[in-house]
Amino acid sequence: MATGQGLAEAYRKAGPYMGLGIEFAATVILCFVGGRWLDGKLETTPILALAGLMVGIGAATFHLLRAVNRLADRVREAEDHEVDNPADER
């Protein structure tokens, strides 16, 4: 039964990171598709599609780095809290 608890703990720790890849891909794809749509309306093919792709990559990278830094801060705070208040002291 220990392996089930270890697996649950691993999923709990990895959970916040699991959606980041999908968010990254969705941002890039939506910006690219938006650029293509504007290209069709304004007849500027492929300028706005490429611009949308670049904006999407930049925005997705920025969001990814912010999310990872926020999660790393949470982990550091939890570790600091554990060091300050060990469970063994009663």
> Would you state the structure tokens that stand for residue 81, as one six-digit string?
């809290």
The candidate with the shortest Cα–Cα distance to 13, out of 84, 79, 83, is: 79
Kindly give the residue spans of alpha helices, DSSP state H, lying in the chain: 2-18, 20-42, 47-84
Pairwise CA distance, residues 25 & 14, whole Å: 19
3-class SS at 87? Answer: coil
- Digit-by-digit pLDDT tens for the chain (90 residues) are 457 788 888 888 788 788 888 999 999 999 999 999 999 999 999 999 999 999 999 999 999 999 889 888 888 888 888 777 666 554
The answer to pTM > 0.85 is no
Angle between helical axes of 2-18 and 47-84 (0-180°, round to 10): 140
pLDDT per residue over 1-16, tens digit each?
A: 457 788 888 888 788 7
Cα-only R_g, the chain: 21
Burial of 62 (0-12, 13-18, 19+ CB in 10 A): exposed
